[in-house]
Amino acid sequence: DGYGDATFGGDRLMTRYEMAQIVAKAMAKGANVDRLAAEFADELDSLGVRVAALEKKSDNVKITGQIRAHYQSYDKGHSGAWDKKTNATSKLRSRIWLNGQINEDWKYTGMIQNEQDFLNDEGDETTDFQRAFVTGRVGGVKVEAGRNNTALGLGVGNILSNRTDAVKLGFGKDIKLGLQYGKISSGHETWDGTAYKSAKKADKYMAATLGGEIGKLGLNAGYVKADDVVKLGQDDSIWYLGADYRFGDFTVDATYLKSDVDKIGANKVDEDGYVIGLAYKGAKAAKAGSYGVYAKYYDQGAGTYIHHGMNTDLANDFGKYGFDGFMIGVNYTLAKNIVAAVEYSDFDAKDNYAGKKPSDKTIWSEVTFTF
């Protein structure tokens, strides 16, 4: 666009504020420039009114979407009736995102999800209005309120990865403090020894997080408290401390977790746990041919997770007394905005399980299209 007066000034270096104007205009047009926005955060804040004016000129409502096809093959071991459960799942998941600009400081986000089951002839299909929340600022405090997915813990949400109805507050720039309060909204099926039954994961929860970076080292810590966790039959409090370090194309991470749950009924369980991971590069949806390889090892006591975010059921449904094992995966961008991924995981439930301990070996594959 140049300077608006038919001049370009291409014979000289631009200033950081001029570059920030370019980033602001790109953001107003919906471009994904997160890394540039982070680099020029101070200048963008200083631009203030000018950035807000650019945003007001952009479309007030934007629609984006994602469609994902997955196939999962698993081998579960147990002495109970769920030995006979089907050993594969395959679904098509479609998501439509609605993003509306309320004013210069606030916006609304909603998401509708549809799932279709490929492996039966029963016409199984569900459509849910899964997310609805507003984000904005009150003074220097970032605010999110409504129903959204919440991930607590590094990577795939080692503690919680589930929808919550909550208010979330964020403070600071270099050192970030987060506070959350609400309820874990979606339920799932749990095994009671004879049958699967639908149950809420937990009732009210609260969380406090603290994180920041020192060069290539990222540090984070937090506290999570959840009421009436179904798989535990009691309240749960979790402390965690994590770090990740980037060197070249590699990232290594580690998290230590400690819970106040050391017994479930009469059974003694581990009250702490850890997760370590290593990743090389990573597929980027906007760059065809980009790829990544990653691996994680988990050893988590029963109280160190509420609802895990992995592509396996053991950690959520069957690993009542905790679990350990590993997961490896690879992802690859087949074409712009088309990403394929394959994961293999092998998990076992921890001791103190009546009868044969549950185990879960899973191959998960997916192709995701975004638009």
Per-residue H/E/C for 114-157: EEEECCCCCCCEEEEEEEEEEEEEECCEEEEEEEEEEEECCCCC
Which tens digit of pLDDT belongs to each residue from 104-154?
A: 889 999 999 999 988 877 766 889 999 999 999 998 899 999 999 998 886
Q: Which amino acid is at 79?
A: S
Measured from the Cβ of residue 194, the count of other Cβ atoms closer than 10 Å reads: 8
Q: Walk me through the domains of the chain, giving residue ranges and CATH numbers.
A: 1-58 (no CATH), 59-370 (2.40.160.10)
- Is the pLDDT at 248 greater than 80? The verdict is yes
- CA gyration radius, the chain: 23
* Per-residue pLDDT, 187: 53
- Is the pLDDT at 79 greater than 80? The verdict is no
Question: Please, which pLDDT band fits residue 84 given cuts at 50, 70 and 90?
Answer: very low
**Bridge-based pairing state of the strands 125-138 and 141-152:** antiparallel
For the segment 260-282, the average pLDDT, to the nearest whole number, is 91
Give the whole-number percent of the chain exceeding pLDDT 90.
49
- Three-class secondary structure of residue 83 per DSSP: helix
Which tens digit of pLDDT belongs to each residue from 85-97?
A: 557 889 999 999 9
Quickly list DSSP for 302-369: GGG-SB--SSSSIIIII-TTEEEEEEEEEEEEEETTEEEEEEEEEEEE-S--SSSPPEEEEEEEEEEE
- Is the pLDDT at 81 greater than 50? The verdict is no
H or E segment and range at residue 109 = strand 107-117
* Per-residue pLDDT, 217: 94
- Is the pLDDT at 312 greater than 70? The verdict is yes
For the segment 244-262, the average pLDDT, to the nearest whole number, is 95
Which residue has better confidence, 356 or 182?
182
Question: Please, which pLDDT band fits residue 314 given cuts at 50, 70 and 90?
Answer: low
* Per-residue pLDDT, 88: 83
Residue 165 backbone phi and psi in degrees, to 5: -100, 105
User: For residue 231, what is the DSSP state?
Assistant: T
- Is the pLDDT at 259 greater than 90? The verdict is yes
